[in-house]
Each structure stands twice: as C-alpha cells, then as structure tokens.
Amino acid sequence: MKARGWAVLATSAVLFLLAGCVEAAPPRGVAVVTPPVVVRVAPPLPRVEVAAACPGPAYVWVRGYWAWGARGYAWVPGRWTPRPHRRAVWVDGSWRRLRGGWVWRPGHWR
C-alpha cells in the first residue's frame, strides 16, 4: 500500500512538471501561418495508384503525394476521405517551382 502511494505521488509530480511543456493551441478561427519550406531537389514523378473500392457516396479519393522530410522525399499513399459537406470538392496538393526551389502547396476543400 505504501509503495503504491509513492508511485501515485511520483507520477503526479512528473505530470505536473510536464504540464508546462505543452503548448496551447491557437484560438479557434485563428490561422497559423508558417513560411513555406523551399526544397532544392525536384520531387519525383507521382506514383500511379489504384484506388480501392469507394466506401460510400460521401467519400472522395485524395491522391497520394511526395512529402519532404528529414530523409528526403517520402510517398504518402492516397486514401478515401469523407466530404465535409455534399458539394465539397477536393483540390489536390502540388509542388510548385518557386524561389529557386520547390514549394509544397497542400490540398484543400473548395
């Protein structure tokens, strides 16, 4: 019983200390704008993907794309995603030539 009490106290102390390390999310409706990352290496050609059967009429296929990371480009596979509303249209993300390199413009709903 005594050991359990110490374990609870130690866990509570660690959680209390870590609580100050969490950043608060921006207020709702406030856009966080980060400068685009300019990649000096051109992205590979997109992969050809075959979409699995659509799970339902409210879903849209979001194509896969090349994402830039610490180890270079990595393929993010396509997926079915539900529409936020009936007439929503998905606009694919794309790599654009800009500022002496390549900049990713993420996909979005229109």
DSSP character string of 14-69: HHHHHHTTSPPPPPTTPPP--PPPPBSSPPPPPPP--PPPPS-TTEEEE--EEEEE
Q: How high is the pLDDT of residue 99?
A: 77
pLDDT of 88: 95
pLDDT of 50 = 95
Long-range contacts of 20-28 (CB under 8 A, 24+ apart): none
Look up the pTM and report it: 0.66
* Residues linked to residue 94 through DSSP beta bridges, in sequence order: 105
Burial class of residue 103 in the structure, from the number of CB atoms within 10 Å of its CB (0-12 exposed, 13-18 middle, 19+ buried): middle
Half-sphere exposure of 45 (CA within 13 A, CB side): 3
Would you state the pLDDT for residue 38? 94
Instruction: Return averaged pLDDT per consecutive 10 residues of the chain, 110 residues in all.
Output: 57 46 55 83 96 95 96 97 96 93 96
